């Protein structure tokens, strides 16, 4: 078996050490640091991007929270405005209603007064007319001239009954 031919051992071992030694140097000094650096850089890039994404997400969350707070504030402000406006409107309406009611009641009382005046006037007119009528009728019927005063008294007695 050529494997056990001791005369070839020295050359095999010599070249093994030479080639392995050079390969070791090349790996240790050139190849492996490069691979390690690339892997490290990739790892770092991924970490950085993850960090950036996390920061952006935080920003977004903050913006959403701010927006929601603003929305809630606006909503409560609007509700407050509506409440104030409706209260004002209700107060105005109540005041107007009261004013109208006052006007109406004044008109009613004025009207009642004028009706009463008109009635009084009408009544006096009727009494005068009745006294004149009675005086003329008395003169025509019995030829007696009745004093207007007497006739008025008589009428007022009858009307007053």
Partner 1 sequence: MAGPLEQFEIRPLAELSVGGVDISFTNSALWMVIAAVLVTGFMTLSMRRGALVPDRWQGSAEVMYEFVANMLKDNVGTAGRKYFPFVFTLFMFVLFGNLLGMIPHSFTFTSHIAVTFAMALVIFIGVTIIGFMRHGTHYFRMFFPVGAPIATAFILIPIEIISYFSRPFSLAIRLFANMTVGHIMLKVIGGFVGLIGIFGVLPFALLTGITVLEFGIAALQAYVYTILTCIYLHDAIHMH
Binding site for partner 1 (CB under 8 A): 1-5, 7-17, 19-20, 22-24, 26-28, 30-32, 34-39, 41-42, 45
Closer CB to partner 1, residue 1 or residue 157?
A: 1
CB of 33 to partner 1, least distance (A): 9
Between 22 and 101, name the residue whose CB sits nearer to partner 1.
Answer: 22
Nearer to partner 1, 21 or 148 (CB): 21
Measured CA to CA, the distance from residue 81 to residue 75 in angstroms comes to 10
Residue with Cβ nearer partner 1 (15 or 67):
15
Residues near 132 by beta carbon (within 8 Å), at least 6 away in sequence: 148, 151
All residues at 6 or more sequence positions from 57 whose CB lies less than 8 Å from its CB, including other chains: none
* Minimum distance, C-beta of residue 35 to partner 1, in the bound complex (Å): 5
Smallest distance, Å, CB 54 to partner 1? 20
Tokens 């969350």 — which residue?
61
129: helix, strand or coil:
helix
Cβ neighbours for 152, distance < 8 A, ≥ 6 positions apart = 127, 128, 131
Place of tokens 């004093």: 147
């Amino acid at each position: 078996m050529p494997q056990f031919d001791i005369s070839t051992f020295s050359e095999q071992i010599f070249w093994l050490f030479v080639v392995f030694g050079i390969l070791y140097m090349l790996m240790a000094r050139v190849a492996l640091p490069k691979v390690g650096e690339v892997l490290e850089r990739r790892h770092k890039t991924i970490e950085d991007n993850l960090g950036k994404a996390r920061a952006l997400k935080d920003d977004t969350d903050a913006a959403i929270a701010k927006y929601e707070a603003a929305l809630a504030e606006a909503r409560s402000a609007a509700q407050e405005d509506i409440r104030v406006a409706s209260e004002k409107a209700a107060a105005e309406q109540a005041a107007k209603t009261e004013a109208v009611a006052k006007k109406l009641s004044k008109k009613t009382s004025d009207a009642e007064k004028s009706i009463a005046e008109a009635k009084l006037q009408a009544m006096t007119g009727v009494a005068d007319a009745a006294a004149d009528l009675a005086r003329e009728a008395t003169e025509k019927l019995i030829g007696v001239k009745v004093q207007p005063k007497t006739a008025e008294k008589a009428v007022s007695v009858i009307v007053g009954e």
